[in-house]
Every structure is written in C-alpha cells, then in structure tokens.
Amino acid sequence: MELYRKEEYYKIVGICMEVHRILGGGLLEVVYKDALEYEFRKHNIPFQREKEYNIKYKDIVLAHKFYADFIVYEEIILEIKASKDIIDEHIAQTINYLKLADSDLGIIINFSKKSLEHKRVIH
C-alpha cells in the first residue's frame, strides 16, 4: 500500500533531519520552528506557522483556540516537540488537531534526541 502524501512526508522529514543535523538536540521548540520556517521558505514549500483553529462545542465556538505548529502543503499538520520521547499524549493531541482541522495526516517530530524522532499520525 502506498503511503498517503508520501512525497510531501519525505520532504518534510528530510528538512527536519537537516535542521536536527545542524542544530542538534536540546534546544527549545521555538528555535527548531524558526529554522523550519527558514527551510520551508528556502525550498518553496507552502506552510502556515501557528495556524489558529476554532473549537466548536455544540452550538458555540469556545473562547480558547488551538494553534497547529505548522500546516504544510495546506493540510499536513506538523507538530514540533523537544521532549524526552514522543508519548501517547502527543499522539492524542495530534489526532484531535487532525479532527479539528479536517485533515488526514499529522507528523510529530521530536528534536531532543541524538537522532531525530518522527511519527506519522493518520486520521
């Protein structure tokens, strides 16, 4: 079976690997986000950073919103972490973001380890 959005997925992960190779682990998430923004622009990859989504509950929109770290190629949610591991809570959060954004593919990237850690999340 062919991976969904395979080409885009590999481009995104490849760019993340480049950022990790240069910066290493142990920095704050915002530093990696800044570097990714630079790389996405350099490679002409369409993205939005900190895209805001409303949360609907019954017949209202809640006061608090959620912000996806990046939306890449107009639909892929890219969540950036700088934590010990990618944990179940990160996966659950990304699944919720996919539902709210009406998207099918999320990628969680963890920059804090010696090797870049990444996980595909399909909804």
- CA 42 – CA 14 distance, rounded (Å): 14
Answer yes or no: is pLDDT of 17 > 70. yes
Q: Tens digits of per-residue pLDDT, 100-114? A: 899 999 999 999 999
Element (H, E) at 15: helix 6-23
pLDDT of 1 reads 63
Domains and CATH numbers, the chain: 6-122 (3.90.320.10)
3-class DSSP state of 106: strand
- CA 104 – CA 108 distance, rounded (Å): 14
- CA 54 – CA 56 distance, rounded (Å): 6
- CA 110 – CA 26 distance, rounded (Å): 10
Q: Tens digits of per-residue pLDDT, 73-97? A: 999 999 999 999 999 999 999 999 9
pLDDT of 83 reads 94
pLDDT of 5 reads 86
Average pLDDT of every residue of the chain: 94
pLDDT of 64 reads 92
DSSP structure string for 39-101:
HHHHTT--EEEEEEE--EETTEE-S--EEEEEEETTTEEEEEE-SSS--HHHHHHHHHHHHHH
